[in-house]
A and B are shown apart, each in its own frame.
Chain A
């Protein structure tokens, strides 16, 4: 197993767009190690020549419907969930910095 350190967990948190306090980091690192040790067990299983499964098999021959437009009558309800609503617009922080 790759060694799990606080730095590993910190890096993973960053990848997942999370920001942990030092105390949280300590706690999660411990739990992380326990769980990874457990899931490492799978390495004992020989899976040479075995195809991976991503879904219950019958689901794979699903039929995709035609992409047809339909009217949605509750747009205002979507807008009411905006954290920073301005009229029917959603205000977000600036994405591109201007010099």
Chain B
């Protein structure tokens, strides 16, 4: 059932937030042992919030579309009084003293927070295998990964454990798992959603966005969490449109660019066929399909793997075992305490990225790596600027292949990173993009279609996605 239907039933009294929350908590109890998407279920708090939502509905005051709607949160969004771990040992027992702005906004809207969702540690990973809570299983095939890093957020939707979830996307961490789990995931424009209370990975790339089972639900949740926040100076003062309503407009005459660089040798033939079929469908719906070129696409991943680790090494310097988080018991002095707490507290992939980041920022290498990557970032942005001079949106596959097996790429970081090859350029350019299902492989694995928009033009990508969803 979607948010609009549930909203009607809640308002008419046909169901209550309490009953709805109970049924989702029961579903989590039955399914979570297999899927491992939830790392913390907040049963008591959720039932309390549901009771408050019911009161709000009875009083008729302050009801929003999200009042009484059960939602899950990736475990790197700070929740006041509720453990927030980033799936790491270093924050295993960390309890924030404040809510992230997106969490506060959901609570203010009357949403019910069911709990915290599994992820790759500190959002670093593409398979949700880098978690102290163990891997998340793909609900479509439990021997396969759900994608990452927001694997728990995507799998929870696919397994019917939540109506909507929030994740974060630094290089594809919303869109890639959305594609692999067959759900809708939205990476908003950089600056659209406040990052206050999000445990930072790479601050110039991170954005929080929604997952849902359909485009309209994702649009409703994005509208609720978007907007300027005085606590995040990079969140822009631009009005938030009614995305769900605007998405209903048809796509006749819209110009859609198809970049040839996103149909690469070695990509899965079934993925390519499904995406081409979706493009045909969009054409039938009246869109004009135009070939475009984004020549620096092939450099985006290398660029990303300099910029993201560089920012990560700076952001994660705050974890020192002094004020919160894991603090080594065996340290002999302050320096030893820093080193031991950090080395014991961070997982393998996080340690690797901190060191890569430290290296590319270190004296003598800064210009060769970091500054070079920033210049390439400019070229990648220009690619998109040039393309958007002639098209309204860009349509691509979300990933080169469907979900891979658990353990398949865990020892080969480069192969793992390559699963983000089509999602990373969007983050470097700060653009909005959505991934939505566009068919399945013969073995039943979901395939994702990515629609990329101009900066702050979420309306158009929702519109294309909604029209495709209604007719596919």
Contact = CB atoms under 8 A, between A and B. Distances in A.
Interface of A: 2, 8-9, 12-13, 15-20, 28, 31-32, 34-36, 38-43, 45, 47, 50-59, 62-65, 72, 74-75, 77-78, 80-84, 90, 92-95
Contacts of B301: 38
Interface size class of B (residues with CB under 8 A): 35 or more
A16 to B, nearest CB: 4
Given A16-B313, A65-B230, A81-B95, A28 B352 contact: yes
A57 B454 CA distance: 13
Contacts of A52: 371, 374-375, 377-378
Contacts of B351: 18, 20, 28
A82 to B, nearest CB: 7
Contacts, number: 176
A93 B323 CA distance: 12
Contact of B456 (A58, A83, A94): A58
Given A47-B379, A63-B233, 5 more contacts: A42-B372, A55-B234, A57-B381, A57-B430, A82-B323
Interface in B165-215: 189-191, 204
Contact of B306 (A32, A42, A75): A42
Nearest to B429: A56
Contacts of A47: 372, 375-376, 378-379
B334 interface: yes
Contact of B352 (A31, A43, A90): A31
10 contacts: A17-B320, A18-B355, A41-B302, A42-B303, A42-B372, A45-B379, A47-B376, A51-B378, A52-B371, A55-B190
A79 to B, nearest CB: 9
Contacts of A15: 358, 362
B376 A42 contact: yes
Contacts of B355: 9, 12-13, 16, 18, 28, 32
Nearest to B235: A62
Nearest to B374: A52
B342 interface: yes
A90 B323 contact: yes
Contacts of A94: 333-334
Chain A interface, >50% SS class: loop
B135 to A, nearest CB: 20
A25 to B, nearest CB: 11
A41 B377 contact: no
A10 to B, nearest CB: 10
Contact of B81 (A34, A63, A64, A77): A77
Nearest to A81: B324
A55 B305 contact: no
Given A16-B354, A19-B343, A59 B191 contact: yes
B81 to A, nearest CB: 7
Nearest to A4: B359
Interface in B282-334: 296, 299, 301-303, 305-306, 313, 317, 320-327, 331, 333-334
Q: Which of A38, A40, A53 has its CB near the most chain B CB atoms (within 10 A)?
A: A53
Contacts of B322: 83, 90, 92
A84 B337 contact: no
Nearest to B97: A77
A31 B372 CA distance: 22
Contact of B359 (A12, A58, A81): A12
B356 interface: yes
B179 to A, nearest CB: 23
B140 interface: no
Contacts of B237: 63
Nearest to B375: A47
Interface in B92-143: 94-98
A81 B343 contact: no
Contacts of A13: 355
Given A34-B414, A64-B233, A93 B333 contact: yes
Given A17-B338, A45-B299, A65-B233, A38 B97 contact: no
Contacts of B431: 56
Given A15-B358, A52-B378, A56-B429, A39 B324 contact: no
B95 A77 contact: yes
Nearest to A79: B97
Closest 6 CB pairs of A and B: A56-B430, A52-B374, A83-B327, A77-B97, A81-B324, A47-B375
B413 interface: yes
B412 to A, nearest CB: 8
B282 to A, nearest CB: 27
B236 interface: yes
